[in-house]
Amino acid sequence: MTTEFSQRVIQLIQNIPEGKVATYGQIANLAGRPKAARRVSWLLNSSSDKYQLPWHRVINSQGKISERPGGGQQRQKKKLVEEGIKVSRQYEIDLKKFLWTPETINWEALDIPEEAKEFL
């Protein structure tokens, strides 16, 4: 059974548009649990295939692709570059340019409570 928080996280990640990224913490905030960034990471690792999540669009709060075993960092970089996102050799992304911001969020398409928006 999926919790309400998990459903919100899944819905948010599904709606990150091509060419934009979000941070684990940003998704947690929008889903109503500002201290649950690690839970967002866990959901991505365990549910990306099941829910066809664009996992590659979620990065850490420093604007970097998090390290992963098995070449995941390079695979994520490749997918982002294919979407037009510039990624440095150090796996950094310019959040000022590529962060999915509230102005680009289609709130009507998401079932996010009003109180969650205060965490932006």
Contacts of 104 (CB under 8 A, 6+ apart): 17, 20
Structural domain includes residue 8:
yes
Structural domain includes residue 106:
yes
Structural domain includes residue 33:
yes
Structural domain includes residue 117:
no
103 pLDDT above the threshold of 80 = no
pTM score = 0.86
Nearest 10 degrees: CA dihedral of 82, 88, 92, 96? -80
pLDDT tens per residue across span 48-72: 899 999 999 999 999 999 987 777 8
Whether the CB-CB separation of 58 and 44 falls below 8 Å is answered with yes
Structural domain includes residue 68:
yes
| Number of folded domains that form the chain | 1
1 versus 103: which is more confidently predicted?
Answer: 103
Which of 50, 45, 44, 18 lies closest to 31 in space, CA to CA?
44
Domain extent for 34: 4-110
DSSP 34-66: TT-HHHHHHHHHHHTTTTT--GGGEE-TTSBPP
The CATH number linked to 63 is: 1.10.10.10
Structural domain includes residue 118:
no
Structural domain includes residue 29:
yes
Structural domain includes residue 49:
yes
